[in-house]
Amino acid sequence: MKNSYLLAILSGLLLALAWPTYGVPLLAFIGFVPLLLAEKHIRESNYKRKGTKVFFTAYLAFIIWNSITTWWIWYSTPFGMFFALAVNSLLMTIVFSLYHFVAKRLPAKIHLIFLPAIWMAFEKFHLNWDFSWPWLNLGNAFSQYTTWIQWYEYTGTFGGALWIWIINIGVFTTIVKYQESKNRRILSKGIARNVLLIAIPIIFSLFLLKNYEESSQKAAITLLQPNIDPYSQKYDISNLQMAKSLVKLAEPVVTSNTNYVIAPETALAKGSSIDAFDNATEKMVLQNFVSQYPNMQFITGVDFYRHYPQKEKPTITANFYGQNGWFDFYNAAVQVGKNNISEKYIKSKLVVGVENFPFKNVLEPLLGDVMLDLGGTVAMRATQKDRSVFFSNDKVFAAAPIICYESIYGEFVTGYVKNGANFLAIITNDAWWDNTQGHKQHLSYARLRAIETRKSVARSANTGISAFINEKGEVTKTLAYNAKGSLSGEVTINNKETFYVKYGDYIARLSVLFAGMILLYAIARKKQ
């Protein structure tokens, strides 16, 4: 068993060292191999309670991987970090234990198909349930090496996950065959085959990159980075003061040709009535600024609320504040133009524990109003069903107002594009995690959305890294972490839909089908 634990430690380290933004993604192609060897050793041994041994071996590997890559949650809350690491590692371990269950009952040709299928089914599930945390979905591993994955416009990140699993299983079977035969020819042929399987997608990607032509139509954009400390400053500044500060940041750099000024998530953080915002003084300040320029729109994040005076709970997301009644809170984006009515979008992918009470109907009666503080304002927030798009007055430009955490969800982002968005406007606040890998990974994942949709990205961050990213996923301009200022540039306007935009996570859906069929077959075979 000691050897199995050593192999698990090696797997955890390899997967962690493959991760952006410091890692080498080639290691992801062999990251699972030691763990697979450990599982095979346990399965074919005379140990009692093999399933328990596989469980703890896998948990060791996954807790190492999770800890090294996402330890930075500590800066928002130590408890939240321990909870996230423990639960995400547990979920991965359950998936691997299901593989062990199937491997005991079915031949290798079947159970080695089941493994990538059940893993990708898990990743798809992890994108959509209440405890969603897809930060370590395998396809994200290549976010710093976008020259390798231009074909994500056809597959999305699940294409990357499938690629990683094909190579891991190929290397694993090569090692097993060599151990059984001691034939070096088998080893050399296996290595050559797997090197070729790594090289072919990269060559295809380079071909796509060389021949890809970006749209010639462009929008001029200024990004604002106010660099407000969310722990000590943000909620002490009135919305009127903040609006004036944003205008002051923008004034020296905007021109008559500027199409958009974009400010970060919850830049106006003091709380504003969603029903009265268009008459608020902070909105008037922004509108007066916009009216001085012929083509300008102003996008910013706003912390909204809606008040319900009645005694009964009006919505499932409402929060109760004693004599003041019920409130719904919204993390929103608004577009202020020359029209008196601003466009609004309400964030719909919420951070677990901060903005979303998971399984509220079930857990609230048992636990009361308990939230896990993973950084930010702890309150249940409301969402909207569809993705809104912010159009310019002439309808030429259409911004996808993606708010923070939403930018790590590939198929979710395609919803904006299907509704007409021709560039991605990401507004975020990455200050919660200090100057760690957290905010760097968050920026890096935005590069994947650019390739999947072939849409340029304009990313405004408060104390993060504001950036422009082109349709190829290349970062063209940045404003450094912890810097206050503005960043002006251009983004291309692309109205075409990629294969991935049209069909989404089809690889994951097929994986769910295959995994379910194989699992049922394994259960039925056990009964026989």
Our count of domains for the chain comes to 2
Flag whether pLDDT at 375 surpasses 50. no
Name which residue leads in pLDDT, 316 or 373. Answer: 316
Query: Which residue, among 381, 399, 380, 379, has the nearest Cα to 390 in the 3D structure?
Result: 399
pLDDT bucket at 366, cuts 50 / 70 / 90: low
**Burial category of 414 from C-beta neighbours within 10 Å (exposed 0-12, middle 13-18, buried 19 and up):** buried
428 by DSSP, 3-state: which? strand
Structure tokens at 47: 């140990």
Residue 475's φ and ψ, nearest 5 degrees, are -80, 120
Tell me, yes or no, whether 119 lies in a domain: yes
Name which residue leads in pLDDT, 357 or 349. Answer: 349
**Burial category of 85 from C-beta neighbours within 10 Å (exposed 0-12, middle 13-18, buried 19 and up):** buried
Tell me, yes or no, whether 160 lies in a domain: yes
Q: What is the pLDDT of residue 377?
A: 45
Please state the rounded mean pLDDT for residues 489-494. Answer: 98
Structural domain that includes position 236? 218-301+334-348+383-494
Cα(476)–Cα(470) distance, integer angstroms: 7
Structure tokens at 355: 């903005």
Flag whether pLDDT at 276 surpasses 80. yes
- In tens, the pLDDT along 437-451 reads 999 999 999 999 999
Are 225 and 482 contacting, i.e. CB atoms less than 8 angstroms apart? no
Q: What is the pLDDT of residue 524?
A: 92
**161 shares its domain with 293:** no
**134 shares its domain with 273:** no
Please state the rounded mean pLDDT for residues 501-518. Answer: 98
**27 shares its domain with 87:** yes
Tell me, yes or no, whether 306 lies in a domain: no
Tell me, yes or no, whether 68 lies in a domain: yes
**16 shares its domain with 35:** yes
Tell me, yes or no, whether 365 lies in a domain: no
Q: What is the pLDDT of residue 363?
A: 55
Tell me, yes or no, whether 357 lies in a domain: no
**202 shares its domain with 282:** no
Flag whether pLDDT at 330 surpasses 60. yes
pLDDT bucket at 313, cuts 50 / 70 / 90: confident
**120 shares its domain with 255:** no
- In tens, the pLDDT along 387-403 reads 999 999 889 999 999 99
H or E stretch including 74? none
Tell me, yes or no, whether 207 lies in a domain: yes
| CATH code assigned at 398 | 3.60.110.10
**156 shares its domain with 58:** yes
**Mean pLDDT score across all residues of the chain:** 92
**170 shares its domain with 287:** no
Please state the rounded mean pLDDT for residues 85-112. Answer: 96
**20 shares its domain with 156:** yes
Tell me, yes or no, whether 444 lies in a domain: yes
Lowest mean pLDDT among 100-104, 377-381, 422-426: 377-381
Lowest mean pLDDT among 102-106, 278-282, 316-320, 468-472: 316-320
Beta-ladder partners of 477: 468
pLDDT bucket at 131, cuts 50 / 70 / 90: confident
Residue 487's φ and ψ, nearest 5 degrees, are -140, 120
